[in-house]
Amino acid sequence: DILESTYDNPVEDEEEDLDSSMTLIEHLEELRWRIFKSIIAIVVGSIIAFIFRVPILTLLELPLPKMAADALTHGKPVVTGITEGFTVFLMLSVAIGFILALPVVLYQTWAFISPGLLAKEKKYAIPFIFTGVILFAAGVTVGFFVLQYPVQWLIAFASDSFAPLITAGSYFTFVTFFMLAFGLVFEIPLVLTFLAQVDLISSQTLTRKRATSHIGMWIAATFITPGADIYSPIFLGVSMSFLYELSIIFIKLIKK
């Protein structure tokens, strides 16, 4: 009896390790397929965006101020290389493709983590995806409408000492990262609410850490926003702080 109680059967241990390995392999396989489906959705969205690249380009050029006319060629940003035009279109197509594929990406993310959640937590799947899409779209929209202020400031600042030449690569890279930054920041309420739903944080914790969080968000805003203007981090910092406070209120309401 003593020997049986102290001796572990190597065959049983090997079977348990095999079961664990198979479980891990199955999870990795599922993750691989979820990522693959998300990539396919982004590719499809990118193709659609590339087809409509001309009206998209025209829309994104609207924030350029009239004062920048001298820095443009025929009213448009210039390209300085043979491949730059295609590269810019490709970058914009992928960025917009990601936005179009966001519902699929959020669904695949939820589908992967949902097996580890409780039944009461799984019922938030549709609200989670719907809210995520709405918040991201709202963030991108806000970013587009405030974009004119940092663009105007940067061009005016450079015009005092230089003759600015606005290239398509630099301008649309700035626009893309600026709008995506706002889109991602607007997901703060969704992320915090989800963490509260799985009891990883609480409204009390967020309230107690409020000062530190705001300082951290404003510091992060200076690094997240492209360019060196003063408007971008201010707009983003205000948005982050507002959404943080909104998250606290929302978590209190759903946790009553």
In sequence order, what DSSP letters do the residues of 186-218 get, joined into one string? TTHHHHHHHHHHTTS--HHHHHHTHHHHHHHHH
Q: Per-residue confidence of the chain (256 residues) as pLDDT tens digits?
A: 444 444 445 444 444 443 444 577 877 888 889 999 999 999 999 999 999 998 998 888 888 766 555 556 556 788 888 888 899 999 999 999 998 998 899 888 888 887 776 676 677 777 888 888 899 999 999 889 888 888 888 887 777 777 777 888 888 888 888 888 889 888 888 888 888 887 788 888 889 888 998 999 898 888 877 666 677 788 888 888 999 999 898 888 877 6
**In Å, how far are 42, 48, 105, 139, 249 from 191, measured between CA atoms?**
22, 29, 15, 14, 14
Q: Residue 94: its pLDDT value, please?
A: 93
**Residue type for position 92:** L
